[in-house]
Amino acid sequence: MKKKWILLILSLSCLASTLFSVDIYQLQELGTTSYQWSKGWGINNQGQICGLCGQNEKVFLFYWSPNEGIVVTDIQTSYIPHINNNGQIAGTVEFNGWVYKTLHPFVWDLKKGLQDLGVPPSNYWNQAIARDINDAGEVLLQNKDIGDSKEFLTAIWKEGKFKELPRSEMNGSYKINQNSEVLGILQTSMTTPSIYSLKTNTSKKLLFKNSAYGVDINEKGQIIGEYYSYSLGKWFGFFWDPQKGIVLFKDFHPRSLNNLGHMIGSNDNGDPVFYKNGELQNINQLNQVTIKALTDINDAGQIVGSGIIAGQEQALLITPKL
């Protein structure tokens, strides 16, 4: 029997979510089983994938494509990588300094290899983390927190130049879309999702009664994230559309959103969940493989993540059969 949930909070329009039968998927291991573990983190619209794999306490960046197969680089990093539609991967590498280790963002691709981006020359930018990269080659950067303020600075790297975003508009960042819109947060008395346009140098806020943050933004400017209800004492997933407003989910925490409005994430129990056309699908088991996590989805509906193979977590590509 199908079940529908509708959650009404703060008079916001909310979305009915339905559990439905499992679609037919093709499950593909990416060729990293020789490593102790692996996990796919990003997938672009060409089906190219970036991720991490580990062996003997060392973690390496890997790239996979339908044409080249698996390429495990010699780049050691434990930070989440991101891939654009040009096959460029943005990530973060740790350097050993005189006293402390420092973090530098980089861009890597199959032809040019690694490019160290450095950090912005202004104060508080002795190190930086790559948060995302779009097709224009704009790399979203965030520094470490500033002293005891627990705030962050945000900057953009493009073609060797840095642009810092105003702290008054954003002090934490998550994603950048193809329209050069940056999704982040503004921390005041509570945490508020903020969208900053690099083209117009203007920002807008998503106003909730309590704290909220966004985790992904697509080319339509649609946003997914998390909202906290103090009355219920828990976090709820949300979807925001510039025309239709905010939709709240009862038992779905979205992580990635494509341009068709399809999402992947998890439920309250941590089970991997796929959302499409108002329906939720639990896909924690596929072809006798336990799916551990879903991390990204492209416009073809291909999903990257990880599952348990021979007792080890390994990177997987999940493709719907049309």
pLDDT in tens, 125-176: 888 999 999 999 999 999 875 554 556 899 999 999 999 999 899 988 999 9
pLDDT on residue 24: 77
Cα dist from 228 to 46, 190, 192, 253, 276, whole Å:
36, 11, 11, 12, 24
Q: What is the mean pLDDT of the chain?
A: 88
How far is residue 257's CA from residue 40's CA, in Å, rounded to a whole number?
Answer: 16
Residue 122 has pLDDT above 90, yes or no: no
Measured from the Cβ of residue 144, the count of other Cβ atoms closer than 10 Å reads 14
How far is residue 77's CA from residue 53's CA, in Å, rounded to a whole number?
Answer: 10
> Is beta strand 279-282 parallel, antiparallel or unpaired with respect to 17-19?
parallel
How far is residue 100's CA from residue 105's CA, in Å, rounded to a whole number?
Answer: 17
Query: What's this model's pTM, rounded to 2 decimal places?
Result: 0.90
Q: Spell out the alpha helix ranges (H) of the chain.
A: none
Residue 178 has pLDDT above 50, yes or no: yes
Question: Minimum mean pLDDT among 19-28, 169-178, 182-191: which range?
Answer: 19-28
pLDDT in tens, 50-105: 999 999 989 999 999 999 999 999 999 999 999 999 999 999 998 765 445 789 99
Residue 6 has pLDDT above 60, yes or no: no
In which residue are the tokens 């079940």 written? 3
> Looking at residues 246-274, what average pLDDT do you find?
95
How far is residue 87's CA from residue 109's CA, in Å, rounded to a whole number?
Answer: 6
Angle at 46 between CA 183 and CA 173, to 5 degrees: 15
Q: Name every residue whose Cβ is closer than 8 Å to that of residue 17 and which is 6 or more positions away in sequence.
A: 4, 5, 249, 250, 251, 252, 275, 278, 279, 280
pLDDT on residue 7: 30
Contact 105, 129 (CB under 8 A): yes
Task: Give the type of residue at 56.
Answer: N
Task: Give the type of residue at 238.
Answer: F
Residue-by-residue DSSP string for 153-222: -EEEEETTEEEEPPTTT-S-EEEE-TT-EEEEEEESSSEEEEEEETTTTEEEE---SS-EEEEEE-TT--
